[in-house]
Amino acid sequence: MRRLIGRVLTAVLATLAVLTTGTPAHAAVPASPAVTFTNPIAEQRADPHIFKHTDGYYYFTATVPAYDKIVMRRATTLQGLSTAAETTIWTKHASGEMGAHIWAPEIHFIDGKWYIYFTAGSSNDIWKIRPYVLESSAANPLTGAWTEKGRIALPLDTFSLDATTFVVKGVRYLSWAQSDPAVGDGTNIYLAKMSNPWTISGSPAMIARPTLAWEKVGHTVNEGPAVIQRNGKVFMTFSASATDANYCLGLLTATDTADLLNPASWTKSPQPVFKSNAATGQYGPGHNTFTMSEDGKSDILVYHDRNYKDISGDPLNDPNRRTRYQKLYWNADGTPNFGIPVADGVTPVRFSSYNFPDRYIRHWEYRAKLEANVTNLADSQFRVVTGLTGSGTVSLESANFPGYYLRHKNNEVWVEKNDGTTTFKNDASFFRRAGLADAAGVSFESLNFPGRYIRHYENLLHTQPVSTTLDRQDATFYAQ
């Protein structure tokens, strides 16, 4: 009865809005609308880094399999980077320092100049891995000259790599991974302030080290730090374990007003936040960065992985890590939700309710429903693909159960595996219409029952005819 009263009240309020304003009341269009990509973006490109510049271009660099040079490409769209021409902007030295293992370049624009942070070994000691910096004053870093600023001087002269830089509250920091025999095997995450783009100042702080089981599979590793800031927090991802299918992302969190050089300011999430997924065929996701969508409204996770689990020999000699994208979502508590590494092809989206904007379509025990705060993100993600029947239709494929689709059955909507029958294909195919309550939204009309739309009722999804204002609201969703 309480739910019925709520629905009646919603209808009354909508009617009052029409009478007083002449237009129906509706939820605001989401602040972060859907953005999709087609993966993979770049074959045989590991440790990707992207910088979105004020000139309208995205600049992309990554590790190449030969570990012998730094390459870069640019495009005005993120997807455009997949086909953009690539330029070699620097090549390893023939001898001495910077003569081997050219790894993990990052491109940054600081105080009017371009900087590339990268890792390199020595030609006569390829495992003498250290961080280095290049500088360019050119407007276009693909065509400009680069000056070697040299090695970043660190107090410990030990294996050190994956330098990145970021600013919090006006203070620029450098973070990197480094081994310290005094604290144990493997690499740890360090942080220091910077006096200029190639020099640290003061004493570095070790803010994380591998202590948990998932950080020590194959190798004892914390490496590849990357930072995103939101909601008064500094979130630092890092990569853990060996660079095979065990590679995964961990997360450190600090408040942006804290003393970031105090290790106690950082909290490590107890489980990896992004890891291999056999269902989607993605293995060893890691060494990520973050960027923004073209409209500046969505955070984008950029990372590498492989599309197979088993590797012959040393993973470092396997060339097939690929650069990939997917949208980064945010939980109601302000924390990032990475979800799962999604299947190759078009990335999935979420659908929020028009009249309950905090609720999303999700599956639970295969029944499709509306629910708020879906922290198991992939349950609420669907790939919009060409309809199983064609005919100008679409089908909605589950992100975490590839091959399973939203379909109606006895007017109820379920997520079920495509059995190849004509009945299933018809039941899982819909005409994508402009939102019945707001053309900026979307509504899904049944192919085989024209006039029936996916709509929510009592938080469950059904296919039903629509006639009232409330019906149209219940059948309207926003892609996010």
Catalytic residue annotation: 47, 223
Report the alpha-carbon distance of residue 327 to residue 337 in Å, rounded: 10
Distance of CA 246 to the CA centre of its chain: 19
Report the alpha-carbon distance of residue 218 to residue 344 in Å, rounded: 26
Closest CA relative to residue 334, chosen from 232, 195, 261: 232
User: 11: number of CA atoms within 13 Å, CB side?
Assistant: 13
Report the amino acid identity of residue 81: L
- Asked whether 304 and 275 are in contact (CB, 8 A), the reply is no
For residue 371, list its beta bridge partners: 360
List, in order, residues 6 or more apart from 451 with CB less than 8 Å away.
Answer: 445, 465, 466
Closest CA relative to residue 246, chosen from 162, 315, 318: 315
Strand order in the sheet with 199-208: 160-168, 171-180, 184-196, 199-208
Q: What angle do CA 80, 85, 91 make, to 5 degrees?
A: 130
For residue 445, list its beta bridge partners: 431, 453
- Asked whether 103 and 119 are in contact (CB, 8 A), the reply is yes
Q: Which residue has the tokens 């993600």?
A: 381
Long-range pairs of 329-333 with CB within 8 A, sequence gap ≥ 24: 329/377, 330/230, 330/231, 330/299, 331/373, 331/375, 332/358, 332/372, 332/373
Tokens of 149: 């600023």
Give 221's DSSP letter.
B
Q: How far is CA 339 from CA 99, 271, 362, in A?
A: 39, 13, 14
Report the alpha-carbon distance of residue 363 to residue 383 in Å, rounded: 14
With b for 16 or more beta-carbon neighbours within 10 A and e for fewer, the 124-160 pattern comes to eeeebbbbbbbbbeeeebbeeebeebebbebeeeebb
Task: Supply φ then ψ for residue 103, to 5 degrees.
Answer: -125, 155
Count CB-CB contacts under 10 A for residue 283.
22
User: 330: number of CA atoms within 13 Å, CB side?
Assistant: 17
